Chains A and B, each alone.
Chain A
Amino acid sequence: RKEVEQDPGPFNVPEGATVAFNCTYSNSASQSFFWYRQDCRKEPKLLMSVYSSGNEDGRFTAQLNRASQYISLLIRDSKLSDSATYLCVVIGGGGGADGLTFGKGTHLIIQP
């Protein structure tokens, strides 16, 4: 049973559209949640934290649903530069008390 699961995609989305994807986690005791972004052949970088009340950063909105054990990422007015792999990250999700557990990522392709 996977600790953190994501739809690998790819999601092919036209520029300007809104796209959303989810991530489920198996450990109900998980404490903290994040979205990381990884460009092709690059290292992962923190995109945003996910708070219980939800949070927004420009065109990006992250939500947490503890009851159903999933987090979501919504991207509005998508840009070509949003093309990347988005990694869901959970702390306390099986990777040790402090270790970040990564999902395999959702591949997003924004098309002109």
Chain B
Amino acid sequence: DAGVIQSPRHEVTEMGQEVTLRCKPISGHDYLFWYRQTMMRGLELLIYFNNNVPIDDSGMPEDRFSAKMPNASFSTLKIQPSEPRDSAVYFCASSSSPAEAFFGQGTRLTVV
């Protein structure tokens, strides 16, 4: 298995633009997590899905952030409009149980 695949690996965008991050989980995994990592705040859980259904989105910072999982093999995290404070590394992870999460390589987002 190729593991969790995220795209793009790097994204630089201007403030106000829409940003879409993509994730392909490991086949057969029922859980999908979106995390954000910054030096100041560490790894923060934004939202997670179980069987494509959003279970907990309490970590989503505000309405500018939205996440979807239209099927078992694809998820997106969208930021609209983006702001400089959204600059971070965004990780997607999947697992077959909540216990061991396998992470993608992350998307490094810079909003200027």
Which residues of A does B touch, CB under 8 Å?
32, 34, 42-46, 49, 87, 91, 95-105
Partner of A45, one of B43, B48, B55, B103: B103
Whether the pair B43, A44 counts as a contact (CB closer than 8 A) is yes
Whether the pair A91, B45 counts as a contact (CB closer than 8 A) is no
A104 partner residues in chain B, CB cutoff 8 A: 41-43
Whether the pair B45, A99 counts as a contact (CB closer than 8 A) is yes
Tell me, in angstroms, the Cα distance from A66 to B19 when the chains sit together: 42
- A sample of 13 cross-chain residue pairs with beta-carbon separation below 8 angstroms, ordered by A number, consists of A32-B98, A44-B103, A49-B100, A91-B98, A96-B56, A97-B56, A99-B45, A99-B56, A99-B98, A100-B101, A101-B45, A102-B45, A105-B42
Whether the pair B43, A43 counts as a contact (CB closer than 8 A) is no
B99 partner residues in chain A, CB cutoff 8 A: 32, 34, 49, 91
Return the 9 tightest CB-CB contacts between A and B, nearest first: A96-B56, A104-B42, A43-B103, A98-B98, A102-B43, A95-B45, A99-B45, A46-B100, A99-B48
A96 partner residues in chain B, CB cutoff 8 A: 45, 48, 55-56, 58-59
A42 partner residues in chain B, CB cutoff 8 A: 105
Assign chain B's interface to a size class: 20 to 34
B42 partner residues in chain A, CB cutoff 8 A: 102-105
For B67-104 the 0/1 string (1 means CB < 8 A from A) is 00000000000000000000000010000001111011
Taking CB atoms and an 8 Å cut-off, the chain B residues in 22-56 that contact chain A are 31, 33, 35, 41-45, 48, 50, 55-56
Whether the pair B45, A43 counts as a contact (CB closer than 8 A) is no
Tell me, in angstroms, the Cα distance from A32 to B95 when the chains sit together: 15
Tell me, in angstroms, the Cα distance from A34 to B103 when the chains sit together: 15
B91 partner residues in chain A, CB cutoff 8 A: 43-44
Apart from the given pairs A43-B105, A49-B100, A99-B48, 9 other A-B contacts in the complex at a CB distance below 8 Å: A32-B98, A49-B99, A91-B99, A96-B59, A98-B98, A99-B56, A99-B98, A102-B43, A102-B44
